[in-house]
């Protein structure tokens, strides 16, 4: 895969932003692979992602950061630039259910997910073999009722130890504490097994079955202190009928979960997702 | 279209129901066009719909009713048989928005909906011309804040006058009173402009936009006293992104509304929908 | 709706295009509502659409054309700029089937399609009343076997008379002659009742039924001399099963046709579709 | 999972089939879990699948076969009855690509596919480790250009050795010879990486990209001597746009392939698929 730089910007909207950025890029011979813009009219805020062919570019990343600073300051930009060859370090967290974990591991193994899966943390031993077969360290962290804080302290330590910048809750069944949500804001991705905001909370497929809905779904979202209410990255649905038992709904729901999580994570690690309050811009 | 009889049955499940019914039908030379069964394992309840070629059948409907009675009693059946050539009388109710009404009128006009649309009732004058062009009586019933009960009394009278057995709320923006919900239970169909149970209540697209969901939808359901919580007949969804404004969502939502309502109504008037508590069986 | 200018450009790709265009726009105070870029890597060709808030813009369209010329020449651009308040003149053509025509007329009537429907031309009288009710002239042009050329000559005359720049074949069942395809290249939109390239040609639903496919669809495309092989604008599909007869497939297929045609036409009249050889860029 | 018997019948349509079968079942206390009927009106042929709770049933399978014979003969039935606890023996065949194989292995491993995967046969060594980790024998059979017949002879031998009754071509890139197609008719399932009948043959995603379609798909079908033209079991599609490169289409296509193949195989091993000429009945 060609090496590229991804320049991601958001700032108050005004005339001249695109012009200033693209002039800067052209001045340094940047060949632009993909460019995306979005303006939030309600908030009057501007979002931009440029993917630049690295070879074409006359600046190193350090030089870029220095020289681009005045432009960024002029427009009060939040911005960062990422080298696509510096793959993000991802930790997967799981409990007993294997479908999302196995799906992500295979996608990673076959080169579809451009990241380093540096470790799996789980509160059960069930999935150890599958993970280790992929050559990935498996950390069993028990979550006793009386000391969940201690367990999460271990999780936090592991995140630091592995220098992970993305944590994926792949059907991890413990509630992430507020403190960690804040510390790793925008870095923790969850898959919720319902079409949020419907059926938030426990046993969503049972809720859905009881309500008699004709479509079920799954939601990939960033984790915030507000349970199941963080910014949504992606959603997937599947049609069901009266013939579907709760078990059928669970099975079909797993398909939705795998799809929504894999797409959401892929867009996240390619720096295609920008959080905008409690919503997301996804430049896919 | 070939004339058929539709025999719809539900009863406590036990061995021998299908055998008894199909023996009865075979004994009278019934050629079965379509047969559907469903067993609700939780409730131990059985549901069945048989569509019979009328020409093949040796009994008149009256004879059928008489001769089938002992079978029905033996198995404690709720049952009815419908002659497909006796089209149901449908009243459409609307307010200002035309998309669902126009969609249903055109489907009816082109022969896709096998019913008599006997009248349109609306609490605005906006849609009169469109309705009358189709040769359908248009009743303007104002709904003043201080006398909604009086307005609904007029609606009720019209329902009786037209001998309507199905009432479709095609974006009719007044809340059906509990008393009418009970009187016409299982006969009033609403289209709700959200993917229920998400965003029940007012302005669902604004709610959806604010929540940042990635899919919007619409729900066709029977009206009960419990607002937006009646048995769901059909649902439809459409993918959206950060690029979609509330207006775009309204526009895309209208597509979902038209689809879900037309499919739901079509199945209802073909006696394919059976209410099962707060859920539906849809033999489509 | 806010008045806007739509600047649509395609040219050989090179560094500096976006910079030059956005600098030019910023220099004239253009507030950009929406910007889209695409680079065809195989052809090394660049495509761009900018939607500009008209009020913000310091130039008239004539001034724009003059002052932008040097930029356009430098980059060898194909380009045009469109005033959104100059609605395109659209002629709809039909035969007997009403569903696509009725659908487009209602969308136009309710303000969803931002164009002038200046006339309907049909080779049958069936749909006259429906069209005239909308206040649109209806031209019946018979297509006798022995003089189709003469009929198409009348069609061409009507296109000129109405100064139409978009012709929509809304289930018009005559084959557009090569000469007209060339004369109105990129202006004639057809809805084909199959998921092209499957089942090109006649009776696609019968073909699909015979082949036993599990999904059917429709294709909205530009008309070229090569029947059913022009650039695809949009496609829609629907799931079917062994239970669906050819009639059911026709009915479900009509839904696909309405959806694909309405979306395709909407994108076309908003200048969101750019033809790229035998493919399209659709900036939706 | 509850043990059940699946009685699958097809025969010329006539009055009394359902009655005779259900009477027979009721006479032997069969509690019916699920019943499906279908009548092909064009061929005047009847299809039926009954799933019977084994515990409720008063007959052994052998007794059933004997006692049901007169009924079957009377109606000229093709029929078989399957004990759900006798899981089918499945051989998976693959080449280099892992996505379908990994997907099926994980579904099987997690209990979603109710079969014995008795072996994997591949014409490459790439996937050995992944397969063996699941505890499944891996047979590398090379397919030299000059002796494909010899290679297929080995395949045939392995099928017999493992007493396999279902062979899944999970992206196996060799053309199954006519002789084997006939010998294992209705037992060999392929996943074709396009929405058949579009883009049959080689490199379908390249064909699709070139044609500029807006949806891509995959097709799960039975293998017959007529390449890519056997009875379709399931199809899946995904929306694409001008932004999608061939690589993106391949990636999205793999999702379609996994979904269509897993659903198709699941329905096949639950005896829910009946071949009807070149079409299928799928009682899902």
Task: Find out whether B229 and B200 touch, Cβ atoms under 8 Å.
Answer: yes
Contacts of A233 in chain B (CB under 8 A): 214
Tell the burial category of A40 from Cβ atoms under 10 Å away from its Cβ (0-12, 13-18, 19+). middle
Q: Which of C10, C228, C234, C244 is catalytic?
A: C228
Which residues of chain C have a CB within 8 Å of the CB of D10?
none
DSSP codes, B98-158: -HHHHHHHHHHHTT-S-SEEEEEEESSSTTHHHHHHTT--EEE----GGGHHHHHHHHHHH
Q: How far apart, in whole angstroms, are the C-alpha atoms of residue D212 and residue C276?
A: 10
Q: Are D195 and D237 in contact (CB under 8 A)?
A: yes
Q: How many pairs of residues across C and D have Cβ atoms under 8 Å apart?
A: 76
Residues of D in contact with B18 (CB under 8 A): 18, 22, 26, 32, 35
Per-residue pLDDT for A250 more than 80? yes
Residue C202: its pLDDT value, please?
A: 85
C-alpha distances (whole Å) from D102 to each of A103, A236, D131 are 9, 22, 8
> Chain A closest CA to C134's CA: distance in Å?
35
User: Does the pLDDT of residue A89 top 70, yes or no?
Assistant: yes
Predicted local confidence at residue C1, as pLDDT: 65
Residues A200-209 have pLDDT tens digits of 888 999 999 9
Using CB atoms, which residue from D195, D198, D212 is nearest to C278?
A: D212
User: Residue A188 — φ and ψ, nearest 5°?
Assistant: -110, 120
C-alpha triplet A39, A64, A16: angle, nearest 5°:
30
Q: Which residues of C touch B259 (CB under 8 A)?
A: 255
Q: How far is Cα B181 from Cα B221, in angstroms, rounded to an integer?
A: 13
d(CA D16, CA D22): 10
Q: For residues A46 and D58, what is the distance between their CA atoms, to the nearest angstrom?
A: 72
Shortest CA gap A20–chain C (Å): 8
Give residues with Cβ within 8 angstroms of B8, minimum separation 6.
B48, B49, B79, B80, B81, B82, B271, B274
The whole-angstrom separation of Cα A149 and Cα A145 is 9
Do A31 and C18 count as a contact with CB atoms less than 8 A apart?
no
Tens digit of pLDDT for each residue in B182-195?
999 999 999 999 99
Q: Is pLDDT of B11 > 80? A: yes
Give B259→chain C minimum CA distance, Å.
8
Q: B207 is written with which tokens?
A: 């709610």
Long-range contacts of C140-146 (CB under 8 A, 24+ apart): C143/C174
Q: What is the distance of C-alpha D95 from the center of its chain?
A: 19
ipTM of the complex as predicted: 0.93
Domain ranges of chain C: 4-83, 89-282
Active-site positions of B read 228
Query: Are C225 and C182 in contact, with CB atoms under 8 Å apart?
Result: yes
- Dihedral of CA atoms B238, B239, B244, B245 in degrees, nearest 10, equals 40
Order of strands, sheet of C78-83, starting from the edge strand that comes earlier in the sequence: A78-83, A4-12, A45-53, A31-40, C32-40, C45-53, C4-12, C78-83
What's the pLDDT at A2?
83
Q: Do A15 and C31 touch (CB under 8 A)?
A: yes
Q: Round to whole Å and give the CA distance between D134 and C101.
A: 57
Q: What is the mean pLDDT of residues B138-158?
A: 97
CB spacing of D278 vs C211 below 8 angstroms: yes
The pLDDT of residue D196 is 87
Q: Which two tokens stand for residue D174?
A: 């060799």
Per-residue pLDDT at D228:
86
B39:D32 CB<8 A: yes
Cβ contact D27:D48 at 8 Å: no
CA dihedral D164, D168, D169, D174 (to 10 degrees): 20
Q: Touching D: which chains, 3+ CB pairs < 8 A? A: A, B, C
Which positions in chain A touch B197 (Cβ < 8 Å)? 198-199, 211, 213
Helix H, strand E, coil C: the string for chain A is CCCEEEEEEEEECCCCHHHHHHHHHHHCCCEEEEEEEEEECCCCEEEEEEEEEHHHCCCCHHHHHHHHHHHHHHCCCEEEEEECCCCCEEEEEECCCCHHHHHHHHHHHCCCCCCEEEEEEECCCCCHHHHHHCCCCEEECCCCHHHHHHHHHHHHHHHHHCCCCEEEECCCCCCCCHHHHHHCCCCEEEEECCCCCCCCCCCHHHHHHHHCCCEEEEEEEECCCCCCCCCEEEEEEEECCCCCCHHHHHHHHHHHHHHHHHHHHHHHHCCCEEEECCEEEECC
For residues B189 and B232, what is the distance between their CA atoms, to the nearest angstrom? 10
* Rounded Cα distance, D1 and D3, in Å: 6
State the CB neighbour count (10 A cutoff) for residue C124.
15
* Tens-place pLDDT, residues B65-84: 999 999 999 999 999 999 99
The two tokens of residue A218 are: 């799954």
For B42-68, write each residue's pLDDT tens digit. Answer: 999 999 999 999 998 889 999 999 999
Contact call for residues A225 and A218 (beta carbons, < 8 A): no
Determine, for residues C195 and D199 on separate chains, whether the beta-carbon distance falls below 8 Å. no
Expressed in angstroms, the distance from the first to the final Cα of chain C is 18
Q: Which residues of D touch A253 (CB under 8 A)?
A: none
Domains B4-83 and B89-282 share a fold: no
Confidence at residue C130, expressed as pLDDT on a 0 to 100 scale: 94
Crossing angle (nearest 10°) for helices B99-109 and B246-269: 40
CA distance readout (Å), D249 to A171, C274, D157: 28, 21, 37
State how far residue D273 is from chain C, nearest Cα, in angstroms: 11
Please, which chains are in contact with C (at least 3 CB pairs closer than 8 A)?
Answer: A, B, D
Residue A111 is predicted with a pLDDT of: 93
Q: Regarding the domain delimited by A4-83, which CATH topology (the fold level of the hierarchy) does it fall under?
A: Alpha-Beta Plaits (3.30.70)
- For residue C166, count CB atoms less than 10 angstroms from its CB and return exposed for 0-12, middle for 13-18, buried for 19 or more: buried
Alpha helix stretches (DSSP H) within C28-139: 61-74, 99-109, 128-133
Q: What is the phi/psi pair of residue A113, to 5°?
A: -110, 115
Six-digit token string for A227: 């349970």
Q: In terms of DSSP H, where are the helices of chain D?
A: 17-27, 61-74, 99-109, 128-133, 148-161, 178-183, 204-211, 246-269
Cβ–Cβ under 8 Å, residues B282 and B273: yes
d(CA A10, CA D98): 39
- Active-site residues of A, by number, are 228
Indicate the angle between helix axes D17-27 and D61-74, nearest 10 degrees: 160
Segment (H or E) for C12 = strand C4-12
- At B30 the three-state DSSP class reads coil
Distance of alpha carbon C141 from alpha carbon C124, whole angstroms: 7
Which pLDDT value is given to residue C228?
86
Given a contact cutoff of 8 angstroms between Cβ atoms, the answer to whether A191 and A220 are in contact is yes
Contact yes or no for D162/D118 (Cβ under 8 A)? yes
Q: Which of A110, A251, A259 is the closest to D255 by Cβ?
A: A259
Query: Chain B interface, mutation test: which of A242, A260, A264, A283, most B Cβ atoms within 10 Å?
Result: A242
Which residues, 6 or more positions from A261, have their beta carbon under 8 angstroms from its beta carbon? A100, A103, A104, A168, A170, A189, A191, A218, A220
Beta carbons within 8 Å of B205's beta carbon, 6+ residues apart: B193, B194, B216, B246, B249, B250, B253
Residues of D in contact with B31 (CB under 8 A): 15
> By the 8 A CB rule, do A268 and A233 touch?
yes
CA distance C261 to C248: 20
Tokens representing residue B160 in the block = 């009786």
Residue with tokens 């439809």: B236
CA distance C28 to A16: 10
Chain B residues whose C-beta is within 8 A of a chain D C-beta are 15-16, 18-20, 22-23, 25-26, 29-37, 39, 56, 239
The pLDDT value given to residue D200: 85
C111 three-state secondary structure:
coil
Which residue in chain C is spatially nearest to B113 when comparing CA positions?
A: C251
The mean predicted confidence, pLDDT, of chain A is: 95
**Averaged in consecutive runs of 10 residues, what is the pLDDT profile of chain D (284 residues)?**
92 95 94 93 94 91 95 97 96 97 96 97 96 96 96 98 98 94 97 90 90 95 92 96 94 96 98 96 95
**Tens of pLDDT along chain C (284 residues)?**
689 999 999 999 999 999 999 999 999 999 998 999 999 988 999 999 999 999 988 899 999 999 999 999 999 999 999 999 999 999 999 999 999 999 999 999 999 999 999 999 999 999 999 999 999 999 999 999 999 999 999 999 999 999 999 999 999 999 999 999 999 999 999 999 999 888 888 899 999 999 999 999 999 999 999 888 899 999 999 999 999 999 999 999 999 999 999 999 999 999 999 999 999 999 99
Pick the CATH number of D89-282 from 1.10.357.10, 3.50.50.60, 3.30.70.1400, 3.40.50.170: 3.40.50.170
- CB contact at 8 A, A191 and A104: no
């Amino acid at each position: 895969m060609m090496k590229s730089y991804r320049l991601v910007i958001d700032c108050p909207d005004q005339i001249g932003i695109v012009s200033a950025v693209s002039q800067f890029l052209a001045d340094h011979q940047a060949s632009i692979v993909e460019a995306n813009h979005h303006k939030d009219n309600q908030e009057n805020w501007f979002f931009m992602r440029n993917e630049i062919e690295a070879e074409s570019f006359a600046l190193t990343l350090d030089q870029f950061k220095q020289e681009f600073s005045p432009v960024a300051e002029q427009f009060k930009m939040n911005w960062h630039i990422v080298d696509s060859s510096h793959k993000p370090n991802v930790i997967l967290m799981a409990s007993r259910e294997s479908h999302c974990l196995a799906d992500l591991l295979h996608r990673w193994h076959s080169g579809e997910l451009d990241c380093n899966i540096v470790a799996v943390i789980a509160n059960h031993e069930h999935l150890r073999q599958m993970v280790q077969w992929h050559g990935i360290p498996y950390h069993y962290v028990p979550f006793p009722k009386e000391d969940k804080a201690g367990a999460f302290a271990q999780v936090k330590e592991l995140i630091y130890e592995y220098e992970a910048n993305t944590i994926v809750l792949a059907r991890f069944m413990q509630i992430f504490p507020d403190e960690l949500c804040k510390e790793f804001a925008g870095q923790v991705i969850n898959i919720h097994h319902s079409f949020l905001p419907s059926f938030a909370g426990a046993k969503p497929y049972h809720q859905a079955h009881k309500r008699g809905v004709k479509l079920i779904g799954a939601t990939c979202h960033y984790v915030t202190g507000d349970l199941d209410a963080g910014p949504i990255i992606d959603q997937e649905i599947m049609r069901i009928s009266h013939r579907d038992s709760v078990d059928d709904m669970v099975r079909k729901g797993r398909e939705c979960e795998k799809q929504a999580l894999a797409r959401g994570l892929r867009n996240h690690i390619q720096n295609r997702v920008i959080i905008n309050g409690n919503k997301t811009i996804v430049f896919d």
